Amino acid sequence: WAAVAAVDGLVQLGEPAVSGLLEQLDLNNYTARSWAIRALAGIGDPRGLVTLLGAATADFSMSVRRAAAKGLGSMKWNHFPPTLLEVVQTEALEALLFVAQNDEEWVVRYAAVVGLESLAMALQPTNSPGWAKIQEQFALMAEQENYLSVRARVWKAQQAVQEATFYVSTSPSTEHPSLLATDWEEILERLYNRKLRERTVLSEGDPRNYAELLSSVPGGRA
């Protein structure tokens, strides 16, 4: 309970806690790492994106995958520059679809549904292929998911997404200062390295394209 309370406190602290949490990820102490990932998932800061992508899809701990999947859908999207928003939301979508389709634990798939619902709320249905993919995944799970609790959560998500008023704010947050250009450079570099590990053949989705995106961020360098 003390650890849970500590995570809740870090989530409440928000952005000022992120740098320290990221440092915990480099430690050999897996317990510290797992709680740091849970806190990053709750905070939703852009600097935690790549960590959550990896944790949701590959961490051996069910509880960490669950927290990361839920957190991926509720990132603070309005903290991302408009030029990067489509890229990072696509990465989050691909990870959540992978979890929803492949994770063996129903509680993690349940969390992926929660994450996909939150992500759908951030996408415009009229011009977003990602929104359509989420709807397709929900329809598939509503028919094929073995666990009733997951199917019930899918039905709830379908209803919520259909009834929601969609609005995406790309203006800078008034609650937190904008990240530095060096922060965005590190985020994109980590995305680049992640995509390199995923792909053995570089094609149209070559992660080196992220270098071009970085040049479009104010203060970034190509």
Look at the pTM and tell me if it is higher than 0.85: no
Contacts of residue 149, Cβ cutoff 8 Å, sequence gap at least 6:
106, 110
CB atoms within 10 A of CB 144: 9
Task: For each of the domains in the chain, give its residue range(s) and CATH number, in order of start.
Answer: 2-179 (1.25.10.10)
Q: What is the pLDDT of residue 213?
A: 55
Q: Is the dihedral of CA 24, 54, 90, 125 positive or negative?
A: negative
Whether the Cβ atoms of residue 91 and residue 53 lie closer than 8 Å to each other: yes
Task: Return d(Cα 2, Cα 211) in angstroms, integer.
Answer: 42
Q: What is the pLDDT of residue 196?
A: 66
Could you report the per-residue pLDDT of 26-65, keeping only the tens digit for each?
Answer: 656 677 777 888 888 888 888 889 889 999 999 888 988 9
Among all chains, which residue has been given the structure tokens 């839920």? Answer: 70
Q: Is the dihedral of CA 37, 40, 44, 49 positive or negative?
A: negative
DSSP 46: G
Q: Which residues in the chain show pLDDT less than 70?
A: 1-4, 10, 13-14, 16-17, 26-29, 124-127, 165-178, 195-196, 198-222
Task: Return d(Cα 154, Cα 145) in angstroms, integer.
Answer: 9
Task: Return d(Cα 142, Cα 148) in angstroms, integer.
Answer: 9
CB atoms within 10 A of CB 219: 13
